Amino acid sequence: MKTIALILAYDGTNYAGWQRQSGQKTIQGTLEDALSKMNNAPTEIRGASRTDAGVHAEWQIAAFDTHRDYEPDRFKIALNALTPPDITIRHACDAPDGFQPRFESRGKHYRYWLWQGHYLPPMLIHRAAAVRKLDVENMRNAAQYLIGEHDFSSFRALDCQAKSPVRTLTRIDISTVSGPYDYTCADGNALIQIDVEGTAFLKQMVRIIVGTLIDFGLGMPAHKMRTILESRCRANAGQTAPAAGLTLVRSFSSLDDWINPSLLL
């Protein structure tokens, strides 16, 4: 028996999230179906991040155990053939026996796209959330209150089961970018990119942070972010932003010590 680690990307639009669920199409379930065919036996796959329904990933880490003595690239090629085109195995490599991506995590980088304009371009329907014109500078000022170690009870889903609400955010960058399509300059439209990094996250934490930042973009005084944070009350924060705008850009782990990024698809 040996352990194989994977780096994969996926479009989460057609999936009920990462985690296997009875009667639901999920990323984990789809991968396990493919692996079970390869191994000729039920095979469990372990992920670093349990992304929600509709959330995308560019660098999700997963691992599984196998009795097949195949080279890692053979698993990559076979899995890319056995899974739908909205899931891509970017890299496969040997990993320490029993490698657990979730517990080996060194942090995560999430990105959220907001489209401010009169309409949401069709190409961005599953990649961004539509908003009114926002005050980006005020959003930046409000976001700074969230940097560091805090009790993020105000920014987690009511059904979050994490034992502790304390988390550490290391970065929140908010910028306007051109994006993948030539729409940015039309009628003053712009794509707002929100990059959030931290050591770990609570359920729906990034989406709630984004929903709250939208309120600041619409005029709420930046200093009120401290009040929301210190209240430790979910009702005081903003709405949960739609899942479609969120992407797991990078999951950091001990794999980084021996992965050459140039080898990735």
Exposed, middle or buried: residue 249 (CB in 10 Å: 0-12, 13-18, 19+)? middle
Among residues 210, 178, 233, the alpha carbon closest in space to that of 52 is found at 210
Crossing angle between the packed helical segments 224-231 and 205-217, to the nearest 10 degrees: 150
Give the residue numbers annotated as catalytic, written as ranges.
52
